[in-house]
Amino acid sequence: MTETASASPIAFADFERVDIRVGRIVRAEEFPQARKPAYKLTIDFGSDLGTRSSSAQLKARYRREELEGRLVVAVVNFPPRQIGPFMSQVLTLGVPDTDGAVVLLTPDKEVPLGGRLF
């Protein structure tokens, strides 16, 4: 196995600083201004965090209608990022499939909104 920069060890304390939470997509909208095909997502993280926005390059594998209501996992403590005219407040997590299209990371059972990964 070859070692890569992404496989470099980090301290557990560094991992603990990343706030990864579960939310539910309540709205998915077309985002024609994005450079790569993407949706604008509104994600509900429960009463403590409320709703946050995210731009996500999911169009290759997901229709807008199938995203709404889906649980997702996102990093909620990165600084907001301007994506064209849209402010993305959280990083929705996914991994590439064999074609390079993003597949969402999702809990396989219902869990409370705002639940933190640990």
Residue 40's contacts (CB-CB under 8 Å, 6 or more residues apart) are: 28, 29, 30, 31, 53, 54, 55, 86
Q: Is 6 inside any structural domain?
A: no
Question: Distance of CA 35 to CAs 9, 32, 78, 92, Å?
Answer: 33, 8, 21, 18
How far apart are the C-alpha atoms of 28 and 26, rounded to whole Å?
7
Q: Decide: pTM greater than 0.85.
A: yes
Q: Is 2 inside any structural domain?
A: no
Q: Is 118 inside any structural domain?
A: no
**Parent domain of 100:** 11-104
Q: Is 39 inside any structural domain?
A: yes
Query: For the chain, which ranges sit under pLDDT 70?
Result: 1-6
Q: Is 5 inside any structural domain?
A: no
What is the structure's pLDDT at 7? 77
Question: CB-based burial of residue 109 (10 Å sphere; 0-12 exposed, 13-18 middle, 19+ buried)?
Answer: exposed
Q: What is the dihedral angle through the alpha carbons of 9, 118, 83, 40, rounded to the nearest 10 degrees?
A: 140
Number of structural domains in the chain: 1
105-117 confidence digits (pLDDT tens): 999 999 999 999 9
Domain CATH for 60? 2.40.50.140
